[in-house]
Amino acid sequence: MKPSDLIAQLAHCPSLSGTPVVGLDLPAIKQLTPQPTLITCLLLPGDDAEPNDLQNATRQNIRDRFEVLVLLDPAVNGSLQTLDRLHDLRAELWRALVGWRPSPGQEPVEYAGSELLQCDATRVLWRYAFVAPFQLGRSRASQPAESWHEHQLDSLPLLKGVTVQVDAIDPADPNLRQPGPDGRIEMTFSGELNP
């Protein structure tokens, strides 16, 4: 999922003022200085992929993971109000993200839980985790290729017809030690395909 799409969707949270900081490094986010207003950070830790479940094509279920981290200063409003604010923010994030489809091929975003990452007299860092499931591998041949195998299949010429030649086992050739096909074609048939 594109971080820019996610940031645009987070604009539906009234409590998140300003653009979230996009971070790739949790230790660097933990070093941010708390401000009187909350600081929102977007962390994209990766994805989880299940093994391919097809033998002759690609179909993998993948879950994009992303996290919204909130940094608050509990000294500004007090501990109880800070906890209330975290509770209210969770409800706003649910309204903005849960059920949202980041792209046409993706499943709706799901909530994956939250946790306290850091807490002391001057800072509270809280993580809200979400996942966006999708399938790698197209569902219809009319969709664009998503894997190398699909790309190769798309480059093949269209199948316009089939010719089948049959070399029957019986009657067996008496000159052979074991009965089996003798190399003579006993039957041929063809068919044309109209896509």
Question: Residue ranges of the domains in the chain?
Answer: 3-136, 157-188
Instruction: Show Cβ contacts of residue 153 under 8 Å, excluding neighbours closer than 6 positions.
Output: 141, 145
Q: What percent of the chain has pLDDT over 70?
A: 89
Q: CATH homologous superfamily of domain 3-136?
A: Phage tail protein-like (3.30.2000.10)
What span, in angstroms and rounded, lies between the C-alpha atoms of 108 and 94? 12
What span, in angstroms and rounded, lies between the C-alpha atoms of 146 and 138? 6
pLDDT tens, position by position, 106-123: 899 999 999 998 888 888
pLDDT at site 140: 82
Record the pTM: 0.75
Q: Can you read off the two tokens belonging to residue 136?
A: 């790698």
Q: Can you read off the two tokens belonging to residue 133?
A: 């499931």
pLDDT tens, position by position, 68-97: 998 888 776 677 888 888 999 999 999 999
pLDDT over 90 (residue 188): yes
pLDDT at site 178: 67
pLDDT over 70 (residue 13): yes
Report the mean per-residue pLDDT for the chain: 85
The one-letter amino acid code at 19 reads T
